[in-house]
Structure 1
Amino acid sequence: MHPGACWQEYQTMADFVETSNTKTAVRQIPAAIADIATFEGIIADVIATNPWGCVEYVQGGATHPGVERNRQSYTVRVNYEDGEGSVVGSVSAKAPDMSGFNAAATELAANAALEAALGGDAVRNPDADAFSCQLKCHDANGETYYVTFARESVRITSYEDDAILATVETWADGVAALN
Structure 2
Amino acid sequence: MADFVLSTTNKTSVRKLTAPIADAAAFNGVIENVLTNNPWGCTPWEGAGESHAAVEKAAETYTARIVYEDEFGGVIGNASARAPTLAGFNAAKTELLGNTDLETAVGGSAVADPDRESYACRLRCHAANGEVYFVVFTRTSVRISSYEDDAIRDAIETWADGVAALA
TM-score (norm 2): 0.98
Amino acid in the other structure paired with 2:126: H
Structure-2 residue corresponding to 1:138: 126
Query: How much has 1:61 moved relative to structure 2?
Result: 1.1
For residue 170 of structure 1, the aligned residue among 139, 146, 158 is 158
Q: 1:121-166: CA deviations, max 9, x gaps?
A: 0000111100000000000000011000000000000110000000
Amino acid in the other structure paired with 1:106: T
For residue 68 of structure 2, the aligned residue among 74, 80, 103 is 80
Amino acid in the other structure paired with 2:150: D
Map 1:1-179; keep pairs closer than 5 Å: 13-179=1-167
Amino acid in the other structure paired with 2:111: V
- The SS at the match of 2:90 is helix
Query: How much has 1:15 moved relative to structure 2?
Result: 3.4
CA distance in 2, matches of 1:47, 1:88: 41
- Give the RMSD, CA atoms, in angstroms: 0.8
CA distance in 1, matches of 2:78, 2:48: 44
- The SS at the match of 2:135 is strand
Query: How much has 1:113 moved relative to structure 2?
Result: 1.2
Q: 1:69-128: CA deviations, max 9, x gaps?
A: 011111000000000000000001111111110010000001111101111000001111
Amino acid in the other structure paired with 2:141: S
Structure 2 unaligned segments of length 5 or more: list them: none
- The SS at the match of 1:41 is helix
Structure 1 residues 84 and 49, CA gap change in structure 2 (3 angstroms): same
- The SS at the match of 1:142 is coil
CA distance in 1, matches of 2:74, 2:137: 33
Aligned residues: 167
Identity of aligned residues (%): 54
- The SS at the match of 1:127 is helix
- The SS at the match of 1:55 is coil
CA radius of gyration, larger in: 1
- The SS at the match of 1:37 is helix
